[in-house]
Structure 1
Amino acid sequence: MSLFKVFGSSQRLEIIHELTDGPMYVSELTEAVGMDGKTAAHHLTVLEDADLVEHYRRGNRKYFRLIKRVRFEASPPPERSFVLQAASEEASDRPAAEKAGETSKGTAASATEGSTGRR
């Protein structure tokens, strides 16, 4: 799915916004964005498939975290540019406490994806 489609949902943008504060477990996340579990699960699956978030388990809780830096920029003439980008974050940037004792699914891609620029 293209970044345009992934970011075309205000609900997915709300999830990304919440995850900028750090990992959240599913029920905490659904409450924060005000959606039911089934809807949140769908949007989280889309975000995982786009390699923007990943999940890990701690005990019985399933946590999600943002794994790419997301950037959107649009400028009118004379600059006339458009950038929609999701760039990988290095695993070493995550605090050691988050890494300890987790089982993760999903990986961060090593290249920048979805960048478009016009001049």
Structure 2
Amino acid sequence: MVRPEIIIKTYNPDTKALKEMLAGIEEEGVLYKVIHEQMPKDQMTLGYIASQMSQLEVGIGIQADHAALYVKKIKDAPLFHTTAKHRKLGQNAARYVKGNPLIEI
């Protein structure tokens, strides 16, 4: 069964950054799934692939403390990227899914 969830693909993530991002998504009440990659990939590649995999068409890539939020419909660049405001990035991913206004990062 495919669940409507934000897909988060990681490679060697900073644990604090990942925890903050997940907390932001949880605060907004949206489901997510974390997939840990074994092969090195940057956050942009991971985020793009995650958005293609997500039934909600929203994906996040995280490598170390670098995170990128991608939307399947916007192929050219991430919607947001950050190295510091991970909770807000997670909140924005969930807010995009719900159709709520995004917050400034």
Q: Please state which band the TM-score falls in when normalised by the shorter chain.
A: under 0.3
Q: Which TM-score applies when normalising by structure 2?
A: 0.25
Larger Rg: 1
